């Protein structure tokens, strides 16, 4: 799915393929520090890469990070770098992709379903979709 406000949505599997095939492609994990510590992080070591960790919203107030664009840029990406934004379920990462596109970055993608996916009918994650559900590499920190 494409959206004029950003380059579009990718499944976690499509995101992995982009990361594997494009040496410049960068995964930007926009979750909060507590999420990273307690839920786990994508493991890109087999691709000889590391995610860039920049929270879209700042814990505990969950307000938009006012330095987000600057912090992503400080990660060494240029305006045509494919940036793949990941959060828990795809909402914050979509907002981040839109913000970076508005800041002049031309290849910003949302990893739809995120790291854990949406809640299932009994309110569990990692059951319906997401990075972990899809069996992509991850580690507990």
Average pLDDT estimate for 53-82: 96
Assess if residue 28 is contained within a domain.
Answer: yes
Mean model confidence pLDDT for the chain: 93
pLDDT: which is higher, 128 or 14: 14
User: Helix (H, G, I), strand (E, B), or coil: what is residue 13?
Assistant: helix
Structural domain for 113, as ranges: 8-139
Assess if residue 1 is contained within a domain.
Answer: no
Whether the per-residue pLDDT at 61 is higher than 70: the answer is: yes
Compute the Cα dihedral for 96, 88, 55, 82 and give only its sign: negative
Burial of residue 64 (number of CB atoms within 10 Å: 0-12, 13-18, 19+): middle
Whether the per-residue pLDDT at 1 is higher than 50: the answer is: no
Residue 3 pLDDT? 57
Q: Quick one: DSSP state of residue 98?
A: H
Beta pairing class for 83-86 and 63-64:
unpaired
Residue-wise pLDDT for 69-127, tens only, equals 999 999 999 999 999 999 999 999 999 999 999 999 999 999 999 999 887 888 777 77
Assess if residue 2 is contained within a domain.
Answer: no
Torsion of CA 42, 48, 51, 52, to 10 degrees: 170
Residue 64 pLDDT? 97
Question: For 27, phi and psi rounded to 5 degrees?
Answer: -90, 125
Assess if residue 117 is contained within a domain.
Answer: yes
Residue 108 pLDDT? 98
Closest CA to 86 of 55, 128, 118: 55
All residues at 6 or more sequence positions from 114 whose CB lies less than 8 Å from its CB, including other chains: 86, 87, 88, 89, 90, 91, 93, 130, 131
Q: How many domains would you assign to the chain?
A: 1
CATH number, domain containing residue 117: 3.40.250.10
């Amino acid at each position: 799915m494409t959206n004029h406000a950003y380059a579009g949505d990718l499944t976690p599997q499509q995101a992995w393929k982009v990361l594997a095939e494009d040496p410049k492609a960068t995964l930007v994990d926009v979750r909060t520090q507590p999420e990273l510590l307690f839920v786990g992080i994508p493991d890109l070591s087999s691709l000889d890469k590391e995610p860039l960790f920049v929270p879209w919203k700042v814990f505990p107030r969950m307000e938009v990070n006012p330095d987000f664009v600057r912090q992503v840029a400080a990660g060494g990406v240029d305006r045509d770098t494919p940036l793949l934004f990941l959060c828990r379920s795809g909402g914050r990462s979509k907002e981040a992709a839109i913000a970076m596109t508005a800041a002049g970055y031309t290849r910003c993608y949302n990893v739809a379903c995120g790291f854990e996916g949406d809640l299932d009918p009994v309110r569990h994650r990692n059951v319906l979709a997401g990075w972990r559900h899809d069996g992509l590499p991850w580690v507990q920190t």
